[in-house]
Amino acid sequence: MKVTHFIAVAGLVIASSAVFTSCIRRDDDYNNTNPNNNNNNYNHGNHTTNTTDTVYDEQFNGVDNSLWTFTNATDSAYSSITNDTFQYVDYSVILSNMTVVNTGINTQNNFTVSARIKSNNIMGLVFGASSSSNGYAFYIDTVGNYSLYAEGSGSTASTVIIPSTQDSLYSVKHNWNVLELDQTNGTWTGYINGTQVFSMAARSMGGNSFGFKVLPQTIGYANYLIVKND
């Protein structure tokens, strides 16, 4: 199933109850633009189950079974899979793009999602989306600033949960970074390259779709997306 939404850009609402940290290590496994617009969103229904713990494992190194790729000439956006990498391009001036797939995981339980991404502007890891909700996005920009947003719906703009926050110690500027979101016992914990950068009370999620969002004038890349029972 493919769902596309077009909505207007709205102002930011800053409301964060997060607790920030910068020195807790997890042993397993650009110029910032405010990501406050959810415009073109692609929600696909396919998923694969691999092991008991790993619910969805996309390495972008084979056939596109989850329908990640698309072309939208009107929006000046497209995506492709080449050389073990998912490329997500949005050349538009005002419209952002989000693509998610149904992973099959139960987001009411404990889970972990991780992805390795980079971009020339700002790109987000999306989690908890559904056909009626765009879920949440954990963003990082080219200079290592991160943020967390509630992505609203087709008629409701994104709102900030954690504003843009500098993480120059643990993120890699202008290169690949691993983002991870862990939900355990009602708590969300965010990691960049294995180091905890925030912890907060978990919010409700409407679905089990996960994926990526890029802002206007962004070329983004990902080389895996893994969702596990925690």
CATH architecture for residues 19-229: Sandwich (2.60)
Return the pLDDT at 219.
97
Domain residue extents for the chain: 19-229
Q: Cα-flanking dihedrals φ and ψ of residue 82, to 5°? A: -145, 145
Which pLDDT band, with edges at 50, 70 and 90, does 169 fall under? confident
pLDDT at 168 over 50: yes
Give yes or no for residue 4 having a pLDDT over 70: no
d(CA 112, CA 123): 19
Instruction: Report whether pLDDT(97) > 80.
Output: yes
Q: Are 15 and 160 contacting, i.e. CB atoms less than 8 angstroms apart?
A: yes
Note the pLDDT of residue 151.
95
Q: Is 162 helix (H, G, I), strand (E, B) or coil?
A: strand
Higher pLDDT, 166 or 9: 166
Residue 99's DSSP bridge partners are 42, 212
Task: Give the model confidence (pLDDT) of 44-66 as tens digits.
Answer: 655 444 445 889 999 999 889 89
Select from 97, 102, 79 the least CA-distant residue to 4: 97
